[in-house]
Amino acid sequence: MTMLHKRHGLGNGGAHDVRDNQAPLRICLLSYRSNPHCGGQGVYLKNLSRALKDLGHQVDVVSGPPDPQLDDDIKVFRLPCLDLYNPDDLFRMPSLKELSDPINFMEWVGISTMGFSEPFTFGLRAYRFLKDKFHRYDIVHDNQCLSYGLWAIMKRVPTTVTIHHPITVDRRLAIRSARWPWKKLQLMRWYSFVGMQKRVSSRLSPIITVSECAKKDISKEFRLPLRHLRVVPNGINTDLFYPIPEIEREKNHLMVTNSADTALKGLSYLMLAVAELSRNRDLRLTVVGAPKENGSIVKMIKELGIGRLITFTGRIDNGEFVRHYAKATIAVVPSVYEGFGIPAGEAMACGVPVISTTGGALPEVVGDAGVLVPPADSGALAKAIGELLDNPERARQLGQAGFKRVQDSFTWRKAAEKTVEVYRETIRDHCRS
């Protein structure tokens, strides 16, 4: 009997026999940056860990900074790092003692040369942390880090990964939108970790992704066989996102979530649409989030002369988030590409009529419960917004349809159940290898 079989209770009818499809699993989730208030990966970790725990599984999380802010009954192991992107001490100079650690030194050199080395070094730290703890887990699940450290981990314990969407899309759009050649070169260097992700993903199967669109794009961009990918749609946390009928919707009030001020999110096209609409109607836009200081969006708002119409909320709690949705006439999702589209689902869960682009997987989320327009087309966005503002009855119907669609199709419990199916497949494949 192999050590692998002994670890998983196989062949001896042990108390923890993972061949039993009802047996609870011991799960280790890896996630290098998982702020639940900034980006879909943090939302994914928070909600999936909660849903897996509610299904009766043991869930531990190994995380880098910032704190993922998980529920108290989910154990989190926080791996210290240089944290050079901490806004309170951005790109600080590490001490000699810190740099005496080889992993810290590699992280510092990578970032000092305009790269993004955090995914790589997090994977090395995760392996170093887990190397004497593999017997505690039936499965390790990586949240799109795809570090070389996973190669070492997957030799010791069944390992899978979620790829939310191919980062090659972000890279392509960012480089295309950069105005200056030096900026394009800087972005090419920053996204150099993509090569690592491609190589690591080629060794993993099955791989979880969150939509049929993402599945096809990951297969194409990362050159992976479609048969290696399993689609598990995200859920929407309807305990946090829900209608508040006692709050009256305000007239001509648009809302957008800007979790990442990048070309991928298409905020510039919405600004152009707002500028066009403001010529013949009064309206305002609330942006949940904050722009980059002196970034392209701030400059665009000044150039268009629409600053009086735009309000950035900065970071807000969930209660205030939902109240903003309750006041909004329309929620707009202007993304050029989304691997899933959590902001669209959250708006629909709040009963807000949604106008979304067809970028990436957004049509899979919105379906026929919202208005769909081509991505990167400010004219089409302006036309759709104007028409829906002029038709409040249709807006009301779309809000109701969106709410029903989320309740019927996108729950984290369903996502967790399908994820567990992939875990068990991964364990079976690993034991046969």
Per-residue pLDDT reduced to its tens digit, 273-287: 999 999 999 999 999
Give the pLDDT confidence score for residue 173 in this predicted structure: 87
Give the pLDDT confidence score for residue 18 in this predicted structure: 62
Three-state DSSP at 22 gives: coil
54-57, long-range: CB < 8 A, 24+ apart: 54/413, 54/416, 55/24, 55/413, 55/416, 55/417, 55/420, 56/24, 57/24, 57/25, 57/26, 57/27, 57/420
Give the pLDDT confidence score for residue 48 in this predicted structure: 96
Give the pLDDT confidence score for residue 262 in this predicted structure: 79
Give the pLDDT confidence score for residue 87 in this predicted structure: 81
Share of residues in the chain with pLDDT > 90 (%): 82
**Tens digit of pLDDT for each residue in 177-196?**
888 999 999 999 999 999 99
Length of the chain as a residue count: 433
Give the pLDDT confidence score for residue 246 in this predicted structure: 96
168-172, long-range: CB < 8 A, 24+ apart: 168/194, 168/221, 168/222, 169/217, 169/221, 169/264, 169/337, 169/360, 170/262, 170/264
Across 237-258, average pLDDT: 95
Q: Where are the alpha helices (DSSP H) in 228-377?
A: 267-277, 296-304, 318-327, 342-349, 362-366
**Tens digit of pLDDT for each residue in 276-334?**
999 999 999 999 988 888 888 999 999 999 999 999 998 888 899 999 999 999 999 99
Give the pLDDT confidence score for residue 2 in this predicted structure: 43
Across 36-46, average pLDDT: 79
Give the pLDDT confidence score for residue 106 in this predicted structure: 97
Give the pLDDT confidence score for residue 13 in this predicted structure: 38
Count CB neighbours of 3 within 10 A: 9
**Cross-sheet strand order for the sheet of 253-257:** 310-312, 284-288, 253-257, 330-333, 354-357, 371-373
CATH 3.40.50.880 fits 3-235+412-432, yes or no: no
Element (H, E) at 30: strand 26-31
Give the pLDDT confidence score for residue 19 in this predicted structure: 58
Confidence band (pLDDT; 50, 70, 90) for 11? very low
* Euclidean distance between CA atoms 185 and 113, whole angstroms: 12
- The sign of the dihedral angle between the CA atoms of 367, 273, 294, 111 is positive
**Tens digit of pLDDT for each residue in 366-385?**
999 999 999 999 999 999 99
Mean residue pLDDT of the chain comes to 92
- The pair of three-digit structure tokens given for residue 373, joined into one six-digit string: 């327009």
Query: Phi-psi region for residue 351, left (φ > 0), alpha (ψ -120 to 50) or beta?
Result: left
Across 73-92, average pLDDT: 92
Three-state DSSP at 279 gives: coil
Q: Which of 30-44, 57-71, 188-202 has the lowest mean pLDDT?
A: 30-44
Could you state, in order of their start, the residue ranges of all structural domains in the chain?
A: 3-235+412-432, 253-409
Give the pLDDT confidence score for residue 167 in this predicted structure: 92
In terms of pTM, does the model score above 0.85?
Answer: yes
Give the pLDDT confidence score for residue 36 in this predicted structure: 67
CATH 3.40.50.2000 fits 253-409, yes or no: yes
Residue 279 makes CB contacts below 8 A (sequence gap 6+) with: none
**Tens digit of pLDDT for each residue in 389-433?**
999 999 999 999 999 999 999 999 999 999 999 999 999 999 887
Query: Phi-psi region for residue 20, left (φ > 0), alpha (ψ -120 to 50) or beta?
Result: beta
Contact 315, 292 (CB under 8 A): no
Give the pLDDT confidence score for residue 178 in this predicted structure: 87
Please say if the pLDDT value at position 12 is more than 50.
no
Please say if the pLDDT value at position 230 is more than 80.
yes
Across 344-356, average pLDDT: 97
Across 120-132, average pLDDT: 97
Q: Which of 1-5, 102-106, 139-143, 242-246 has the lowest mean pLDDT?
A: 1-5
Confidence band (pLDDT; 50, 70, 90) for 6? very low
Domains 3-235+412-432 and 253-409 share a fold: yes
